A and B are shown apart, each in its own frame.
Chain A
Amino acid sequence: MSARDIARIAVFAALTAGMGLIGAISVGGAVPITLQTLGVMLAGAVLGPWRGAASMALLLFGVAIGLPLLAGGRGGIGVFMSPTAGYLIGWVVAPIVIGLIVGSRPVWWRVALGSIIGGILVVYLFGIPVQAWFTELSIGETIITSLVFLPGDLTKVVIATLVTMGLYRAYPRAFAMESAKRAPEPVAH
């Protein structure tokens, strides 16, 4: 793994943390609505499956060792022993699915499809059973309470798609399957 890969992985982990800290749509809840899942979707769409997954794993590693990187400044190993734990595991798997669906050159419908399947379905698939277990509710009851978050998640799919396509126009270097092999360009300041 090159220095460039590590830097991008680190920056996407930080971006996702930052999206939680500014708490744009955080209204609280057992599983708060935050922009962080937007970071998860973007990691897969922009960095590709493996670096995207690595960036989320790095973020969770930071959380596990106690850094307050989740929405509202939460962190610590305890988060992995709480109702949100499953969703967090889903964050690592989601970019793999999104990245594989999007491929090396983003097309809007692929980004949207990837974000729905990876960013919503996969995350819920991991999240709901764990939440049900922790909160001592049935799977059905948990799915019903989780429906509250669906409109927010669909909004994030739209934002992720617009942002990914916008980024592709503004800074195509970002999508860089080829970036790993690119020689460092002179730093222009």
Chain B
Amino acid sequence: MLSLYYPAGSFLHRMPTGLKLALLAIGSAALFFLPDSYWSILVVAIPLLGYVLARIPLRIMVTDVLRMAFLLVFLLVTQLIFNEPEVATTVVARLTTIILAAQLFTRTTRIKHLVVTVEKLMTPFEPLGVNPSKVALAVALMLSALGQIMGFIGQVRDAQHARGVRLAPWAWVVPVLVLSLKHADDMADALVVRGLD
């Protein structure tokens, strides 16, 4: 569910995670200096080229683009109502580029490497009272819990269907919360047993 990682062994996959994060952050920030013009649409080619270089199949690239199609159409329409077409083009092109680049990062980075990087990233904040291994632990727990919770949602919805209960569309929320919080307590117990308290 969570792993959007697509193994392809390109140079983007092998690049250190910290460097990739930095490139993403700097690149995204740089896009805000883009002048308003129709030419700004060309920057969208950068992440798309990245997908090709990362040897990610076209099918996945198309999925990633389509996922944001709604957002972009809505944004474009509101922009065209209130702004000049040049400005609208730049705003939409900038956003498309950033989202695709972030997605490309996720497609080429293993969660395992991410957690190690988190721990390293947090180390300088140690004197401020930040515990790097606790932050990394929290990130790892969040990722594992997410998989569990998506499972809980499926289970609860199935159970409600099976009993023929016609409830409000959000009736699954309370049972899922109860299961999730119990899961949290179980995880905590497991951590305490392992001496991580």
Tell me if A177 counts as interface (CB < 8 A to partner B).
no
B184 touches A163 (CB 8 A): no
Q: Known contacts A11-B183, A21-B150, A28-B74; is A184 also within 8 Å of B189 by CB?
A: yes
Tell me if B117 counts as interface (CB < 8 A to partner A).
yes
Query: Which residues of B (32-82) have their CB < 8 Å from a CB of A?
Result: 32, 67-68, 70-71, 73-75, 78-79, 82
Main secondary structure of the interface of B (DSSP, over half): helix
B74 touches A10 (CB 8 A): no
Give the size category of B's interface with A: 35 or more
Contact bitstring A1-41, B, C-beta under 8 A = 1, else 0: 11110111111011101100110100111101001001000
Q: How far is the CA of A15 from the CA of B148 in the complex (A)?
A: 10
Q: Which residues of B contact A (CB under 8 A)?
A: 1-2, 4, 21, 24-25, 28-29, 31-32, 67-68, 70-71, 73-75, 78-79, 82-83, 87, 91, 95, 98-99, 101-103, 105-106, 109, 114, 117-118, 121, 134-135, 137-139, 141-143, 145-146, 148-150, 153, 169-170, 173-178, 180-189, 191-192, 196-197
A82 touches B98 (CB 8 A): yes
B99 touches A10 (CB 8 A): no
Q: Known contacts A76-B98, A184-B189; is A167 also within 8 Å of B178 by CB?
A: yes
Q: Among the listed B78, B91, B176, B184, which residue makes an inter-chain contact with A7, where contact means beta carbons less than 8 Å apart?
A: B184
Question: A88 CB to closest chain B CB, in angstroms?
Answer: 14
Q: How far is the CA of A167 from the CA of B169 in the complex (A)?
A: 17
Give the size category of A's interface with B: 35 or more
Q: Known contacts A14-B142, A14-B146, A66-B114; is A7 also within 8 Å of B191 by CB?
A: yes
